[in-house]
Amino acid sequence: MEKNANKLTEWVINKIKTEYPDDIALLVAVPSSSVNNDDHGVAFDYFIPATERGNELAQTFIIGGVGNDLYPRSWERTERTASLDDIATICLADAVILYARSKCDEERFENIRQKLFDNLKKPDFIYKKALENLDKAMDLYRTMMFEDRLWKTRCLAGYIQYYLMISVACLNGTYWKEWHKGVIPALKQWKNLPEQYIEHYQAILTVTSSEELKSLAHVLITTTRNFITQYKPENKDSIKPDYNRLADWYQELRTTWNRMYYYCEEKNADAAFTDACNLQNELSIIADEFKLEELDLLGAFNTLDLGLLSKRAAELEEVIISAIEEQGIRICCYDTIEEFFTAMG
């Protein structure tokens, strides 16, 4: 097969030089794509066109049972690969330049490749990319919940695992090398993994029902999510939160608290639940922004005993008030309208 690869490389380079001398910037091989010494990706993998006409070089064919895909990858897509937005990372990281139109083209490519390796060393950058791929896995999981066909859920489980694995690779400062050899060999080379990730993945290969696949996908997402959280960078240069804004927020939302207290007292679970959901959403945002403790309100919701919700709401209200007053900020609160008018002058 090696002789065929050499001949194919020579054929493409000759075609470029004679038919597309100004239209092709680079011809690139990705030798790590080869399986069972079939030399796929060795003769060539893709080319980078310099002009629109250069795209005409693209073609696919089969020789001796081995498929060949001579396809274009634009400079823009190569940049996206370096930014981990195009997840075929090996096409840049493991690339071998077979032909370059100029030294300038070759240097441009190597600079982009270096950008990829530099990005993999940046904690803030890889954390962000890990979250992005986690989101993709969770989107697929939402689709999976409404699917019962086994072949569909198996495919979704495979792609969920794929995006989660990309997240894990990022946090290990690497990428999925030799992906065609399977998942487990790569995972065993990485230092840090989510809890029992390999075991959960292996279970996906053996289960025979959609429900089992859904359960395993949920576990994989949960453990990977917890794993990613450990890598959240500390923002040392972050701006101190504006507690005056927190005071304004509390003064505005005080009506929601009052309304919920009222509905709890009236034993109107429907209305109380609506306000509790609204307040919980607001509390979650504020807790994250002001680095407060977990502000769990809805955990106390019980249709049969709304007093529990009312009590928890009062506790959280005190947490907010304390956070504001500890900063020396006075909440604009008056017992009477006369007191308000006096304060306003």
State how far the Cα of 230 lies from the Cα of 57, in Å rounded to an integer: 47
Query: Would you state the pLDDT for residue 190?
Result: 93
Q: Which of 30, 41, 26 is nearest to 93 (CA)?
A: 30
pLDDT at 337 over 90: no
Q: Give buried/exposed letters for 156-186 (b at 16+ CB in 10 A, else e).
A: bbbbbbbbbbbbbbbbbbbbbeebeeebeeb
> Helix and strand tally (H, E) in the chain?
13, 5
What pLDDT score does 42 carry?
A: 73
Most distant CA pair in the chain, distance:
96
Segment among 55-64, 208-217, 229-238 with least mean pLDDT? 229-238
Domain boundaries, the chain: 2-119, 123-229, 243-344
| The predicted structure's pLDDT at residue 270 | 97
Q: How far is CA 28 from CA 64, 73, 114, in A?
A: 22, 10, 16
Is residue 225 within 8 Å of 163, Cβ to Cβ?
no
For 28-59, how does the pLDDT look when each residue is reduced to its tens digit (9 = 90+)? 998 866 666 665 657 788 999 999 999 999 99
Residue 144 has pLDDT above 90, yes or no: yes
State phi, psi for 321 to the nearest 5 degrees: -60, -45
Contact in structure between 94 and 30 (CB atoms under 8 Å) = yes
The candidate with the shortest Cα–Cα distance to 308, out of 251, 250, 260, 256, is: 260
C-alpha 71/C-alpha 68 separation (Å) is 9
Q: Do domains 2-119 and 123-229 have the same CATH topology?
A: no
pLDDT, tens digit, 9 for 90 and up, residues 199-212: 999 999 999 999 99
CATH number, span 123-229 = 1.20.120
Report whether pLDDT(122) > 90: yes
Q: How far is CA 327 from CA 80, 143, 246, 322, in A?
A: 44, 45, 11, 9
pLDDT at 139 over 80: yes
* pLDDT of the residue at 2: 55
Q: How many CB atoms lie within 10 A of CB 29?
A: 22
Q: Is 252 exposed, middle or buried (0-12, 13-18, 19+ CB in 10 A)?
A: exposed
pLDDT in tens, 9-28: 999 999 999 999 999 999 99
Share of the chain above pLDDT 90, in %: 79
Helix (H, G, I), strand (E, B) or coil at 316: helix
pLDDT tens digits, residue range 172-196?
A: 999 988 777 788 998 999 999 999 9
| Mean pLDDT of the chain, nearest integer | 92
At 341 the pLDDT is 85
Predicted confidence (pLDDT) per residue in 314-331, tens digit:
999 999 999 999 999 999
What CATH number does the domain located at 2-119 have?
Answer: 3.30.460.10
